[in-house]
A and B are shown apart, each in its own frame.
Chain A
Amino acid sequence: MTRRERRRAEDERYRTWKGGYRPYDLVKEASVAFGVILALTVVLTILFSSPDEHPSTVRSWSRTDPVDFVTTAVSELDGTSTTAMYGPPYNHNGPGQHEAFIHLQKWLGVSHPINTVQDFVIAPLRSITGQPALQSAISSYQSASAKQQAAWTTAYSNALNKATVGPGDSVSIRAGNYGPLAPMMSSLLTLAQSGGLDGALLTSKQFYQTDYTKPLMLMADGGLLASRAQAEHLLGTQWGIMNETGSYPGQVWLWLYTFWYQIKPFSTSANADVLVMTVMAVLSLAFVLIPFLPGIRSIPRWIPIYKLIWRRHYRTAG
């Protein structure tokens, strides 16, 4: 008998157990297990409850850190924010990530279009009625040349570096040639602090709305979410989203996914996400196909933990 035939014969013998059996109550075991787990979860709930950190809003952000909000708004206007330069699926302003010649992010296209100038600044300001000076300022900005717009936003951004928070959570900056930006940003800040920008960013063609892409993208461009995340040890450098707010266990099962972001080349690559996803896809496929992978499938034979698992069986059989 060849080695292969012996292997097949052995595997064939594993199909059906022809040794001894003992009584077993499947339904009783399942019922007891369910009762134990239900009791355990209730005990854990009573002892530890669960975290529920209130969400940030554009309103709370603009009140907590008005300078950061205005700085972010200017970056949306001059196209330098993360969202403005992101690329697909939000716009065409960035190439997106790719793996060799495979550009899935680009190929799938812009499915959730975001024009940061219009969606985050101009349209919300246009929705403010009864302020002809503001509307005139917006028109003035829009009719200016790109070079002039860039000069205004650059000057305003530089001034924001030394801005202070004034009365009523306003932003005070030194005098300068900012064109119509000062009244525009002042009005946008007021709109945000009143909660109006939260609503404006959810406005769509229909009454019902569940898509929070725009307000979340705007807030993610700012610093509030990141500062809260840092305090809650949720940053990518802190093993990110596998953690939970507070001291609760989070998505611990994502540890391997998060692990790759901590080491090179992933931690320094501009294509880190697609590289990590590719690695995890390969590992996931390998995990599913372990029974077919030479070497990997044989490790349980080489490291005989099975002798511990079936020690009673072997002791009895021996």
Chain B
Amino acid sequence: MSVTQPPPAPSKSWTVWVRDRAVNALPPEKLLADKQPTYVASWIYVFGVLTLSSLAVIILSGSILALKGPAWWHFTGVGHFFNSVHLWSVELFFFFMVVHLWGKYWMAAWRGGRTQVWITGAVSFLIAVPCALTGYVSQQNFDAQWISTQAKDAMNSVGIGAFFNLMNFGQMYSYHILLLPVAVVALVVAHVLLVRKHGVVPPFELGESLAAARAGEPQAPTKSPPETDGPQAETDGPQGGQRTVIAPTNPEPGVPPGEKPS
């Protein structure tokens, strides 16, 4: 004799709610993807992971410097070695990040509901700048003396100097090894999770002007795709929407007629 179990009532658990939201937004196959779109085939894509790797080396070398204290690297060869690793990883981090940002700009990577991806990346860069500045004024050498006494005027001119004193080593060190790195890492984590959630932005569609001509609408002025109305509000609805397959009768050589069919 079988007993029919009633369906479970909707859970009121906060934990379940958070878990369901997290898994829906980022199922394991998205979070740790084992496949990627075929269009992700350019060296420009490497600079994102190189930026992340540089950040990891920064944190690793910075943690070792923090463990030994701020004066260690001045007087020991090992300390100076790790300080040098810290310096060069910072230089690489900014170099890779700037290339990554330019690459994403030229891809218009905010398309398709990816504005948050762009914004978190841009703000990460902006927060990384004072993070580096506080490091430079925490060096305890002439460079730190000069930078702190010069940069203070800009801080003071807008009132920031009242509570952010570049010549207060204790305050700058706290900002450099805790507050600002936490902000940078949090933003970078959010950025990466958003990339995993939304995926890498697809290529521009080509041939839109031909399709518009066929439909009797005004043509775009160039062969490039027309301007979109910018970022659209994100929804939880079905993704993809209506798909337009454009098939001009006489496409120009090298210009594909439309998006590659599924």
Q: Is B243 an interface residue (CB 8 A)?
A: yes
Within 8 Å by CB of A301, from B57, B158, B227, lies B227
Which of A40, A50, A111 has the most CB atoms of chain B within a 10 A radius of its CB?
A: A50
CA distance A210 to B168 in the complex (A): 6
With A34-B53, A54-B141 known as contacts, the answer to whether A314 contacts B85 (CB < 8 A) is no
Contact between A19 and B168 (Cβ–Cβ < 8 Å)?
Answer: no
Contact with B along A63-104 (1 / 0, CB 8 A): 000000000000000000000000011000000110000001
Q: Which residue of B lies closest to A19 (CB)?
A: B260
Complex CA–CA separation, A252 to B90 (angstroms):
11
A251 B87 Cβ-Cβ under 8 A: no
A50-B83, A216-B148 known; A317-B260 Cβ under 8 A: yes
Residue of B with least CB distance to A300: B108
Assess whether A45 is in contact with B84, with CB atoms less than 8 Å apart.
Answer: yes
User: In the complex, which residues of chain B have a beta carbon less than 8 angstroms from the beta carbon of A18?
Assistant: 240, 243, 262
Which residues of chain B in 185-238 are interfacial with respect to chain A, using CB atoms and an 8 Å cutoff?
198-206, 208, 212, 215, 217-218, 222, 224-232
A298 touches B227 (CB 8 A): yes
B37 at the interface (CB under 8 A from A): yes
Contact in complex: A7, B226 (CB < 8 Å): yes
Is B98 touching A253 in the complex (CB atoms < 8 A)?
A: yes
Query: CB distance A4 to B229 under 8 Å?
Result: yes
List of B residues within 8 angstroms of A6 by Cβ? 208, 212, 217, 226
A238 to chain B minimum Cβ distance, whole angstroms, is 11
Q: Does A23 contact B (CB under 8 A)?
A: yes
Report B55 CB to chain A, min CB distance, Å. 9
Which of A97, A248, A254, A277 contacts B129 (CB under 8 A)?
A254
User: Looking across the interface, which residue of chain B has its beta carbon closest to that of A274?
Assistant: B157
Query: Is A302 in the interface zone, CB < 8 Å from B?
Result: yes
In the complex, which residues of chain A have a beta carbon less than 8 angstroms from the beta carbon of B205? 10, 13
**Interface pair B94/A313, CB less than 8 Å apart:** no
A304 to B129, CA, bound (A): 30
Q: A41–B225 contact, CB under 8 A?
A: no
B residues 157-177 with Cβ under 8 Å of A?
157-159, 161-163, 165, 167-171, 173
Which label, helix, strand, loop or mixed, suits the secondary structure of the A interface? helix
Is A245 a contact of B94 with CB atoms below 8 Å? Answer: no
Say yes or no: is A219 at the interface (Cβ < 8 Å to chain B). yes
Q: Which one of A24-32, A119-127, A143-151, A180-188 is at the interface?
A: A24-32
B204 near A301: Cβ-Cβ < 8 Å: yes
Are B36 and A13 within 8 A (Cβ)?
no
Given A55-B141, A251-B136, A20–B107 Cβ distance below 8 Å? Answer: no
Cβ contact within 8 Å between A300 and B105: yes
Q: Does A128 contact B (CB under 8 A)?
A: no
Q: Does A247 contact B (CB under 8 A)?
A: no
Whether B53 pairs with A12 at a CB distance below 8 angstroms is no
User: Contact: B145 with A30, CB < 8 Å?
Assistant: no
Asked if residues A14 and B37 are in contact (CB atoms below 8 Å), the reply is no
- Complex Cα–Cα for A1 and B126 (A): 40
Shortest B168–chain A CB gap in Å is 5
Q: Which residues of A contact B242 (CB under 8 A)?
A: 9, 12-13
A265-318 residues at the B interface, CB under 8 angstroms? 271, 273-274, 276-278, 284, 287-292, 294, 297-298, 300-306, 309-318
B260 touching A312, Cβ below 8 Å: no
Please determine whether B240 and A292 come into contact, CB atoms closer than 8 angstroms: no
Q: Is there contact, CB below 8 Å, between A276 and B133?
A: no
Interface centre among B32, B143, B204 (most CB of A within 10 A): B143
Give Cα A15 to B222, complex, Å.
24
CB within 8 A of A55: which of B39, B46, B118, B142? B142
**Are A306 and B108 neighbours in the complex by a CB distance under 8 Å?**
yes
Query: Are the CB atoms of A51 and B143 closer together than 8 Å?
Result: yes
A107 contacts partner chain B, Cβ-Cβ < 8 Å: yes
Determine the chain B residues whose CB is within 8 A of the CB of A287 once the complex forms.
Answer: 122, 126
Contact A217-B149, Cβ < 8 Å, known A15-B239, A40-B92: yes
Chain A interfacial positions (CB closer than 8 Å to B): 1, 3-4, 6-27, 29-30, 33-34, 36-38, 40-42, 44-45, 48-56, 88-89, 96-97, 104-105, 107-109, 111-112, 210-213, 216-217, 219-220, 225, 228-229, 232, 234, 236, 240-241, 244-245, 248-254, 271, 273-274, 276-278, 284, 287-292, 294, 297-298, 300-306, 309-318
A-B pairs, top 9 by smallest CB distance, nearest first, are A210-B170, A14-B112, A104-B159, A291-B110, A12-B241, A273-B157, A108-B159, A108-B162, A318-B256
17 contacts between A and B (CB under 8 A): A12-B242, A16-B112, A19-B38, A21-B37, A21-B38, A30-B49, A40-B92, A45-B81, A50-B80, A55-B144, A108-B162, A216-B148, A220-B149, A241-B146, A245-B143, A298-B227, A315-B254
